[in-house]
Amino acid sequence: MRQNTSEDNYNRKRSLSKKIESWETVVAGICLISSTILIFFAAVVRSFSQPINWSLDISLFLFAWAAFLSADVAYRDNKLVNLDFVLDVVSPKVKRVLMILIYLIILTFLLALVYYGSILVYKTRARAFQGIPNFSYSWITMSLPIGAIFLVRSTIEKLVPLFQKGT
């Protein structure tokens, strides 16, 4: 019987990571498209004097989740704004140190978002939507710490190779 090697564990973790990334991309897309369709549908129905009272609340919920999940998708795929020209003029060693410093600052900020976002979730647990009385506002605010957790994971994945290159 064959024992698991560290390479098998790495491949298993990488496979799980790819599944999470794929799931995250799909959910973010579904939330954004659903929010857009719901807002459009509500506007059309409102023009016939039949407003949908809960449409704004659900759209806000979907958009918040789409925003924070999409932030991680864009960050992970390096689609956010970069100041590459600053890093291009320094030596590779200085660039590596600067990248480590930048990612550590980002990581610190994201961990603060997780912490304070969790407090916000707790504080909004009793608040309900106007159009949906039994739907807690915490479901929206929960997108902040959970999105930040995904961003922490992506930051660590970017940071680890920088430390490995130095050894």
Q: Is 143 helix (H, G, I), strand (E, B) or coil?
A: helix
Burial class (CB in 10 A: 0-12, 13-18, 19+), 53: exposed
The residues spanned by each domain of the chain are 6-165
Which residue carries 């976002």 as its tokens?
117
Is pLDDT at 3 greater than 60 in this prediction?
no
Provide the pLDDT for residue 51: 86
Residues 6+ apart with CB under 8 A from 115: 145
Enumerate the β-bridge partners of residue 128.
136
Is pLDDT at 59 greater than 80 in this prediction?
yes
136 backbone dihedrals φ, ψ, rounded to 5°: -70, 140
Provide the pLDDT for residue 97: 92
pLDDT in tens, 27-57: 999 999 999 999 999 999 999 988 888 888 8
Distance CA 97, CA 163 (A): 9
pTM of the model: 0.86
Distance CA 69, CA 61 (A): 12
pLDDT in tens, 104-128: 999 999 999 999 999 999 999 888 8
**What are the structure tokens assigned to 44, written together?**
């059309």
Mean predicted confidence (pLDDT) in 84-112? 91
Alpha helices in the chain (DSSP H): 6-47, 55-76, 84-88, 92-123, 138-141, 143-165
